[in-house]
């Protein structure tokens, strides 16, 4: 009876996490990686979610999930958003303490998936107009855990997180402590200050 109960609890958490990730418009392959559920069951859940969410229909993205870490480095604005997002991930203990040999295989799990969703939802509450998705968050977390392409450093000026190209030019300060920001950049800076005041940046290594 105990064995059955444990199995039921594990399956319930998998389905609950899948439902949560569907709400964030994640693709089936991403949900399968983090929950361990078969893709056919995920598709059934997605159809059910679409039926039950008539007032706010969830999109179902086609094609492969985001797979290029260059996305997080392409503009100063995206780099700021990546820094905010990774700060939330550290606050929710999504990242492991050490580097992973094969993060794409070792990192995804139900427990970390729950934490990832929590971190992404916190990030969304701070940056409601962001174009960054839950799948981007998963890609960023795996890339940082792998440590082969992206690294996280602290700004020497304010201590905030910076997401950097491991093989790119070294940076000592973030955009907020550097050149004058545009109005859009200042708005993002204000939100980042809220993140830093919340203590999320203190969780960074």
Structure tokens at 198: 């919340």
pLDDT at 150: 93
Q: pTM of the full predicted structure?
A: 0.79
Give the pLDDT score at 178: 65
Contact 139, 42 (CB under 8 A): no
Write out the DSSP string of 73-114: GSSHHHHHHHHHHHHHHHHTT-S-SS--SSHHHHS--HHHHH
Q: What dihedral angle (degrees, nearest 10) is formed by the CA atoms of 120, 125, 126, 132?
A: 40
**What is the number of helices (H) and of strands (E) in the chain?**
8, 2
pLDDT of residue 52: 58
- The b-or-e profile of 131-150 (16+ CB within 10 A means b, else e) is ebbbbbbbbbbbbbbbeebb
pLDDT computed for residue 193 by the predictor: 43
Please tell me the distance from the alpha carbon of residue 186 to that of residue 197, in angstroms, as a whole number: 16
Strands (E), the chain: 150-154, 161-165
Of 69, 194, 77, residue with least CA distance to 131: 77
Q: How do the pLDDT tens digits run along the chain, 205 residues long?
A: 455 567 778 889 999 999 999 999 999 999 999 999 998 899 888 777 665 555 445 555 667 888 999 999 988 889 889 999 999 999 999 999 888 999 999 999 999 999 999 999 999 999 999 999 999 999 999 999 999 999 998 888 888 888 999 887 677 787 677 643 444 444 444 444 444 444 444 344 4
Provide the 10 A C-beta neighbour count for residue 102.
Answer: 10
- 142 touches 125 (CB < 8 A): no
φ, ψ for residue 196, nearest 5 deg: -65, -40
**For position 161, what pLDDT does the model report?**
84
* Structure confidence at residue 203 (pLDDT): 42
């Amino acid at each position: 009876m105990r064995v059955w109960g444990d199995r039921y609890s594990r399956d319930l958490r998998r389905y609950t996490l899948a439902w949560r990730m569907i709400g964030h418009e994640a693709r089936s392959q991403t949900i399968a990686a983090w929950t361990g559920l078969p893709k056919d069951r995920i598709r059934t859940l997605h159809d059910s979610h679409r039926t039950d969410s008539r007032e706010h229909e969830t999109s179902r993205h086609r094609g492969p999930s985001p797979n290029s870490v260059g996305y997080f480095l392409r503009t100063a604005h995206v780099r700021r958003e990546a820094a905010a997002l990774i700060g939330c991930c550290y606050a929710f203990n999504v990242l492991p303490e050490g580097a992973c040999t094969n993060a794409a295989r070792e990192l995804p799990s139900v427990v970390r998936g729950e934490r990832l969703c929590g971190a992404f939802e916190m990030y969304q509450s701070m940056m409601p107009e962001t174009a960054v998705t839950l799948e981007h968050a998963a890609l960023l977390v795996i890339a940082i855990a792998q440590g082969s392409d992206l690294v996280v450093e602290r700004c020497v000026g304010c201590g905030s997180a910076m997401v950097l190209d491991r093989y790119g030019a070294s940076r000592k300060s973030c955009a907020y402590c550097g050149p004058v920001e545009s109005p859009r950049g200042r708005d993002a800076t204000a939100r980042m200050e809220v993140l830093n005041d919340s203590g999320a940046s203190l969780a960074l290594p």
